[in-house]
Chain A
């Protein structure tokens, strides 16, 4: 068994309004950052997993995402194992 780290990005679904991203986007424009667009704000979660392999660790992280860490109605996620 080894200790793996999962880096999980949970982001609002692209088709949904992200009020927070929109407000921050507008504010940056007012501060002069005209080149910036399309801000969306999500969560970054890191966690450690005892597993036999990176694949197994990823599976555990997947299960944790589906069970609790993300809301399928609102969000999508991606996992990177290191």
Chain B
């Protein structure tokens, strides 16, 4: 299995993601450029990662312009063939804009960008990215202005029925309540996957929690699960 990290103009967590996967998770990583129209030798086992940042300055709508990039067509084909795709933060927004994931990410209810450590509760027991996470609660940072997940009732019902909710926000003890909702997201959703469980989107940044020097390696559990399954 190898990872391909896409660099869009305005991506700014691309290097962090590459460092985390290559140095901390010891994975093979290739850099992908937004103007490319194909993925080099990517099989179903390989995973494309859309990193965080402000692709195209977040202008118009977060992720909207990036979703029209030449490489997105190739990524859609990869996903439709069952290949894995992970979008983190801005990457999650791009996946929603491109239709690979349902719903949309709206401005936080606080109307402010929020950067802080939050706690995540693993929800899906069937998605590869959460399946073998050991700890019930992970501490992972968020850093976003538009992270309030929004979808209609039918979609939310389907996400629940099909075990597609990856993570919800919670407190240190794992209890989920309004107090721990950092952005007003519907049903405390922090991340979801598609029905095929091969496309994953999450607002929190696991790549910021994979190195002991930074004092938090909870993010490694997420990548380990993704690699293992």
Task: Using CB atoms and an 8 Å cutoff, list the residues of chain A in contact with chain B.
Answer: 19-20, 23-24, 27, 31, 41
CA distance A37 to B54 in the complex (A): 24
Neighbouring B residues of A19 by C-beta, 8 Å: 57, 59
Is there contact, CB below 8 Å, between A23 and B56? Answer: yes
Neighbouring A residues of B56 by C-beta, 8 Å: 23, 27
Is there contact, CB below 8 Å, between A24 and B68? Answer: no
Task: Using CB atoms and an 8 Å cutoff, list the residues of chain B in contact with chain A.
Answer: 56-57, 59-60, 65, 68
Closest 4 CB pairs of A and B: A20-B59, A23-B59, A27-B65, A24-B60
Neighbouring B residues of A20 by C-beta, 8 Å: 57, 59-60
19 CB-based A-B contacts, threshold 8 Å = A19-B57, A19-B59, A20-B57, A20-B59, A20-B60, A23-B56, A23-B57, A23-B59, A23-B60, A23-B65, A24-B59, A24-B60, A24-B65, A27-B56, A27-B65, A27-B68, A31-B68, A41-B59, A41-B60
Which residue of chain B has its CB nearest to the CB of A22? B59
- Give the Cβ gap from A16 to chain B, nearest Cβ, in Å: 15
Which residue of chain B has its CB nearest to the CB of A31? B68
CA distance A41 to B59 in the complex (A): 10
Neighbouring B residues of A23 by C-beta, 8 Å: 56-57, 59-60, 65
Beyond known contacts A19-B59, A20-B57: 14 more, CB 8 A cutoff = A19-B57, A20-B60, A23-B56, A23-B57, A23-B59, A23-B60, A23-B65, A24-B59, A24-B60, A24-B65, A27-B56, A27-B65, A41-B59, A41-B60
CA distance A77 to B65 in the complex (A): 27
Which residue of chain A has its CB nearest to the CB of B9? A23
Neighbouring A residues of B59 by C-beta, 8 Å: 19-20, 23-24, 41
- Give the Cβ gap from A42 to chain B, nearest Cβ, in Å: 13
- Give the Cβ gap from A75 to chain B, nearest Cβ, in Å: 17
Neighbouring A residues of B65 by C-beta, 8 Å: 23-24, 27
Residue from A20, A23, A41 having most chain B Cβ neighbours under 10 A: A23
Neighbouring B residues of A31 by C-beta, 8 Å: 68
Which residue of chain B has its CB nearest to the CB of A30? B68
CA distance A27 to B35 in the complex (A): 12
Neighbouring A residues of B68 by C-beta, 8 Å: 27, 31
